[in-house]
Structure 1
Amino acid sequence: MKRKIKYLIWGCSTAIIALTAIQTYFIYNTYILKEKDAETLVRAELTRMESEINIDSIRNDWFTQAEMLVRTKGAEAAAAFLSRGSPAISRQVSAYIRKNKILEKYKTTYEVIIHKVSLQGDGSVLNLNNKRWFANGVVNGGHQLILHDLISNSDADGALVRNFNSRSTFTIHGGSSSILREMLGLLIFSVVLLTVVILLFYFSIRSLITQKKIADLQTDFINNITHEFNTPLATMGIALSTVRSQLLLMEDNGISSNGLNVLDRQYHRLKKLIDQVVTHTGVTGQLVLNKVEIPLLDFLEKLLDDFQSAHSGIELIRKLKEVPKEILADPFYLTTAITNLLGNGVKYGGTQLIVDVMKQEDRCRVMITDNGIGIAQADISNIFHKFYRVEKGDIHTTKGLGLGLFYTRSIAGAHGGELSVQSIPGTGSTFTLIIPLA
């Protein structure tokens, strides 16, 4: 049992780790997909922005100014003009991004860099590299994404601005926080689900360990009780042997002999019952039967006589007219099963017991009806479980371990039969034991 619990703990831990890994994998993939969706949305909005503010027209006008500066003031003046960038375009871009919900949501930074431009003037060539043209902010970190490149290699006669090469880039600074806010519901659900699974595993394992402790306590209790019972039983057996040997020396009047036979049968039955309790509380396997042909009427008469002797205040009604002639069964176990059912009737308030035995095709049906307190419907499905005892009304005052009906159903099952019950609270119960004849 301890090894099974260890395996269960190991299996549960592995399952939790696997579930966590799978959840993390799916959440990460969801994040990546949303990040790509955000990038696509921002890219589309920036392209629309360039179209709406007519970047191409502004850029052409700006080149025209640079050309004029080269012609009038020289390449150095044009280089200074280009190095300053275009504050006017930057202001337009910043205003557009602030008003755009998507670009503002993801805190987008848009930037255009002049990677290279050649200025022809005064018989010399002046090259500018990596100069900021316009932007809505300073890109200082983050994952820079390329929107598009603009390359213009103009060698036409008279052109003073040549080999123009620029790149438009953007960066999403608020993407992670925005995406995480969108995924907050999924993250909370995943954490709650994982927590519930862990708690279920925890309570299941704790319940299993608790049940094992209870089962161990029950087994120890039964073993101790049966050990204590064996001592007086052994003494009783010696006393019975002594009395029987003395009766052989005396004149037998029949009454003493009959009483001694009843005591002897009950002694051996009690001895077997104690042995069976030890076996049956620790073993859940099938009973091993020693089936013999039993003359059923004689068998039942002796059994009921013994029960009546022990319960003289009980009215025992016998309906044995249709009893099968013989039955193939284990006499000890069959005695135990019927006696358990009779005892239950008395134990739970019955003052009248009706024993109805008859043949049904190839089976023997034993019906035992009592006028006791009955059984609630909610308890009927549980009364055949090991150690189950009803704890309602006056039933809690009844002594017992909750093994009788479990043991009786096991006996019926071992014979290939069945045990069922019908009961109305306050009226009584009827237990039906069905055993195959052969």
Structure 2
Amino acid sequence: MKRLFSSITVLITLSLVGIIVMQVSWLKNLIKLKEDQVKQNIDNVYQTLSDEFGQRREQFIKEASRDYGTLFSQRGFFEPLKAVSIGSKISSSEIEKIINNALEKAGLSKMKYEYCFFSGLLTNRNPTIEKQSPHFWEASEDTVRNYSPDYKLIRALPGSDSDGITKDENLALVVLNWKSHVKQAIIWNVALAILFTLVIVSAFYLTVYTMLRQKKLGEIKNDFINNMTHEFKTPIATISLAVDALKNERVMGDRDKLNYFSGIIKEENQRMNKQVETILKASQFEKREAEIDLKPLHVHEIIENVVDNFQLQLHEKNGDSVLSLGATKDLINADEVHFTNLVNNLIDNAVKYSKDNVPIQLKISTSNTSSGILIKFEDNGIGMSRETQKRIFEKFYRAHTGNLHNVKGFGLGLNYVKSVADSHNGTVKVDSVLGKGSVFSVEFPLSKS
């Protein structure tokens, strides 16, 4: 079973890692694809702008030629046409409007840009600038965040009347922080990928957690069955021997022996009934079916009565109890049976987990808090490790006691204590040092009546 659990965990882990690696690879490919798409869209916009401004330039040249009458066949008379350019004919606002329209048609309306119309070489920073936006040079130098398509000539259309007459003109376009558009385009894809990855990781965690819990519950079930078998086996065997003894003719004729063996059967029967009641009470509290009959109780009175019942067991181990009931107010609203059982279980716990050949020193003290009464049960027993303290109130949990094998029970006593405390709006906690003893602190709210 352990090997199967390990194999399943390894397989699920490998599957999870594989899915995450594939997700990361898919996201990288998606980002690269989106970047290429955005750059292609920018290039298409740039081509559209080049064609648009080229047509407008040709129109300006035709209008300029009409101002001189007709187009002369001798090109030397066309010197005025050489001065015709986009930068000289279109205002900055009109240029920006044309660029904005082109970007909007391409779905890039939110992109910021800088532009420049020039003739000559832009790289030597000494071109003939026709018109430019305010921050063009700064933007063109930042090649990490900004993208600029290759420059294109805006020239006269081949075969047109102005072909070869006017000078060539270039358009430079720089798109600012273009990768932010890529991020906006894939943000939902990334968010969904992360979400589904978290879902898969959560499912993996819940699967492993459930498997561990089931494994733990299986171990608890086996321990409980073993404990229950042991707890019932002894009284059943004793009852069987007593019944056999009652069949003996000499016993049947002796009233004292009849009473003796009948008493043993009754005691063992009561012992089994008590164990069954313990299991039923734990089940009722877990299902929240336990009936709580609240009424005013004096804590000190309950403690004194329960301690009196344990005097014989304490004396058998040369032990003693010290009561330091210092609380000035001890009236609470509680169920008498359950609260008495709570005190009984905590004292019984101190007796069970006492040291061999060491007299039990049990101290029970009370004090008032701001809104309740605090009861402390201190002993000098075997104590508990930190790990045991974390789990001591779990159902069916029993602390490992080393070489101590005479501790009986189902691991329900302290779980019952916590259930009772919770059902009365109280608290219970433990402070223990392994080998030195434990202190159980129970706090209950005082009665308001």
From the CA coordinates, give the structure whose radius of gyration is larger: 1
